[in-house]
Chains A and B, each alone.
Chain A
Amino acid sequence: MAYIELQGVHKVYRKRNLEVPVLAGLSISIQAGEFVALMGPSGSGKTTLLNLIGGLDSPTRGTIRVGDAQLEQMPERELTAWRSQHVGFIFQMYHLLPVLTAAQNVELPLLLFKMAASERRERVQLALSVVGLEDRSDHRPSQLSGGQEQRVAIARALVTDPQMLLADEPTGDLDATSAASVLHLLERLNSEFNKTIIMVTHDPKAASHATRQLHLEKGELFADKPREAAMVEY
Chain B
Amino acid sequence: MTRTTVLIKNLTRNRLRTTLTVLAIALPMFVFTMARTMVEQVHEMLAESDLKLRVAVHQKLSFTSPLPQRIREEIEGLAPEGYITAVCRTSWFGGRIEGKPAAFASMAVDRDTFAKVYAEFEITPAENERFQEERRAAMVSPELAKSQNWKVGDRVTLTGSLPPNPKMEFVIVAIPPKMSRQWFYFAMDYYDETLRKLTGSPAGVNNFWVKCSSPEARQWALTAIDKHFASSENETRTELESTFFAQFMKSGGDWVGLTWNVGRLIVLVAVAVAFNTMSMSFRERTREIAVLRTLGFSAGKIVRMVLSEGVLLGLIGGLIAVGPIYALTHLTEFSIPRMGTMQIPNQTAAIALAVACLCGLLAALVPALMAGRLKVATALRKVV
Contact = CB atoms under 8 A, between A and B. Distances in A.
Touch A–B, Cβ below 8 Å: yes
Contacts of A99: 9-10, 12-13
B294 A108 contact: no
Contacts of A120: 1
Nearest to B295: A109
B168 interface: no
B299 A80 contact: yes
A112 B9 contact: no
B294 A111 contact: no
A57 B294 CA distance: 11
- Majority SS of interface residues in chain A? helix
A47 B6 CA distance: 29
A220 interface: no
A111 B287 contact: no
B334 interface: no
A51 interface: yes
A109 B296 contact: yes
Contacts of A83: 294-296
A111 B305 CA distance: 13
B197 interface: no
A52 B188 CA distance: 94
Nearest to A113: B296
A89 B377 CA distance: 12
A157 to B, nearest CB: 9
A56 B294 contact: yes
A81 B296 contact: yes
A80 B9 contact: no
Nearest to B301: A112
Given A97-B288, A99-B9, A111-B3, A85 B296 contact: yes
A105 B4 CA distance: 14
Given A95-B288, A95-B291, A80 B5 contact: no
Interface in B1-27: 1-3, 5-6, 9-10, 12-13
Nearest to A94: B291
A221 B295 CA distance: 28
Contacts of A87: 294
A27 interface: no
A48 B376 CA distance: 12
Interface hub of A80, A84, A104 (most chain B Cβ within 10 A): A80
Given A51-B377, A91-B380, A100 B294 contact: no
B376 A108 contact: no
A111 B2 contact: yes
Nearest to A84: B296
A149 interface: no
B297 A112 contact: yes
B298 interface: yes
A167 to B, nearest CB: 12
B1 A80 contact: no
A112 B295 contact: yes
Given A51-B377, A57-B377, A91-B380, A104 B296 contact: no
A104 B5 contact: yes
A100 B6 contact: yes
A163 B292 CA distance: 19
A51 B290 CA distance: 12
B58 interface: no
A158 B277 CA distance: 34
Interface in A30-47: 47
A147 interface: no
Contacts of A57: 376-377
Nearest to B297: A112
Contacts of B54: none
Nearest to B298: A80
A104 B5 CA distance: 10
A170 interface: no
A204 interface: no
Interface of A: 47-48, 51, 54, 56-57, 76-77, 80-85, 87, 89, 91, 95, 97-100, 104, 107-109, 111-112, 120, 156, 160
> Which A-B residue pairs are the 5 nearest by beta carbons?
A84-B296, A99-B9, A57-B377, A109-B295, A95-B291
Given A51-B377, A56-B294, A56-B380, 11 more contacts: A51-B380, A80-B299, A82-B296, A83-B294, A84-B295, A89-B291, A89-B295, A99-B9, A99-B10, A104-B6, A109-B295
18 contacts: A47-B381, A51-B377, A57-B377, A80-B299, A83-B295, A83-B296, A91-B380, A95-B291, A97-B6, A97-B288, A99-B10, A104-B6, A109-B295, A111-B6, A112-B295, A112-B296, A156-B295, A160-B296
